[in-house]
């Protein structure tokens, strides 16, 4: 099945992050399908990694158990293919660079193209690899999604603006992933600064867990948000109503995004 493009989208988007194999392969597959049916706009599929330096305790634990359950980059690609066979919504593979280098960058790009994945988000991609990944993405018709944080210098921001063909992923804080109550002033200053520097679609992640977060980010000019730890946190509680709570949160954030967009 051919993938839909995420952008240009007339409305702000909600991307949900999941870890194949957590709590189990079948449960994560079912959760992903329910999220899609529940109205999310795209899925970010995480490759579990033993040293996820950008991730907080919730995603670290999910990655640990996924690895224990035998999930690797090959299994993640099989998982993505299974989703793609049933749905045409945008899918992105999120990974650290090390598993991709071990798999082979060209081989990875080809496999993504073969199963109609929109693109990959490589969390720790250094400038030295920008051109190689950018050229492979162009060769295999993949979107490049690059990360930009409050500490990103102007030279790198310019390069990110030039090389991002999908969207720019804004890391909202200094630090790691994990649900938050509030964001500091520098987060909003950073978002406004990047909005003034580029016309590319902007999506904010790291800590999004409330409708108020989504609303405030849209008001700063972004095009969407990523939610991950909030979903995994519900699963971690082992509550029989976890899935219902996740879907309620998805609905709440989607409504907030749309309402903020209309204001």
Largest CA distance in the chain: 49
Determine which one of 26, 27, 55, 88 is catalytic: 55
Tokens representing residue 39 in the block: 């109205």
List, as one string, the DSSP characters of 11-49: S-EEEEEE-TTSS-HHHHHHHHHHHHHTT-SEEEEE---
The pLDDT tens digits of the residues spanning 31-42 come to 999 999 999 999
Contact 59, 19 (CB under 8 A): yes
Q: Is 126 helix (H, G, I), strand (E, B) or coil?
A: coil
Residue 263 has pLDDT above 60, yes or no: no
Query: Residue 91 contacts by C-beta under 8 Å, 6 or more apart in sequence?
Result: 3, 42, 43, 45, 80, 83, 84, 116, 117, 118
DSSP state of 2: P
Cα 194 to Cα 8, 17, 24, 153: the distances in Å are 18, 23, 38, 11
Q: Domain boundaries in the chain?
A: 13-262
* Nearest-angstrom CA–CA distance, 263 and 33: 31
Enclosing H/E stretch for 73 = helix 73-86
- 13-262 architecture in CATH? Alpha-Beta Barrel (3.20)
SS (H, E, C) 166-202: CCEEEECCCCCCCCCCCCCHHHHHHHHHHHHHCCCCE
Tokens representing residue 154 in the block: 């102007």
Residue with tokens 């073969």: 114
Active site residue 162: no
- Beta strands (DSSP E) in the chain are 13-18, 42-46, 91-95, 119-122, 143-148, 168-171, 202-205, 224-227
Q: What are phi and psi of 209, to 5 degrees?
A: -150, 0
Active site residue 44: yes
Mean pLDDT, residues 119-143: 93
Residue 47 has pLDDT above 90, yes or no: yes
Stated pTM of the model: 0.95
Mean pLDDT, residues 95-108: 97
* Nearest-angstrom CA–CA distance, 4 and 42: 10
* Nearest-angstrom CA–CA distance, 252 and 58: 22
Determine which one of 26, 41, 44, 143 is catalytic: 44
Mean pLDDT, residues 58-81: 95
The pLDDT tens digits of the residues spanning 200-217 come to 999 999 889 889 999 999
The pLDDT tens digits of the residues spanning 178-196 come to 666 689 999 999 999 999 9
Q: What is the mean pLDDT of the chain?
A: 93
């Amino acid at each position: 099945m051919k993938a839909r493009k995420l952008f240009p989208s007339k409305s702000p988007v909600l991307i949900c992050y999941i870890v194949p194999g957590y709590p189990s392969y079948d449960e994560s597959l079912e959760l992903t399908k329910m999220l899609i049916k529940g109205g999310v706009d795209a899925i970010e599929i995480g490759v579990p990694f033993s040293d996820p330096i950008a991730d907080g305790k919730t995603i670290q634990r999910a990655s640990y158990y996924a690895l224990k359950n035998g999930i690797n980059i090959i299994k993640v690609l099989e998982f993505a293919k299974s989703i793609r066979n049933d749905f045409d919504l945008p899918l992105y593979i999120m990974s650290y660079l090390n598993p991709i280098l071990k798999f082979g960058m060209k081989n990875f790009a080809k496999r993504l193209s073969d199963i109609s994945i929109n693109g990959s988000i490589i969390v720790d991609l250094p400038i030295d690899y920008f051109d190689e990944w950018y050229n492979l993405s162009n060769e295999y018709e993949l979107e490049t999604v690059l990360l930009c944080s409050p500490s990103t210098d102007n030279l790198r921001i310019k390069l990110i603006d030039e090389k991002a063909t999908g969207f720019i992923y804004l890391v909202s804080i200094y630090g790691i992933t994990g649900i938050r109550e509030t964001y500091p002033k520098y987060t909003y200053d950073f978002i406004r600064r990047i909005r003034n520097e580029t016309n590319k679609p902007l999506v904010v992640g790291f800590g999004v867990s409330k409708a108020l977060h989504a609303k405030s980010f849209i008001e700063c000019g972004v095009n969407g948000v990523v939610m991950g730890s909030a979903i995994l946190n519900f699963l971690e509680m082992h509550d029989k109503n976890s899935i219902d709570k996740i879907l309620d949160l998805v609905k709440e954030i989607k409504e907030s995004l749309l309402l903020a967009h209309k204001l």
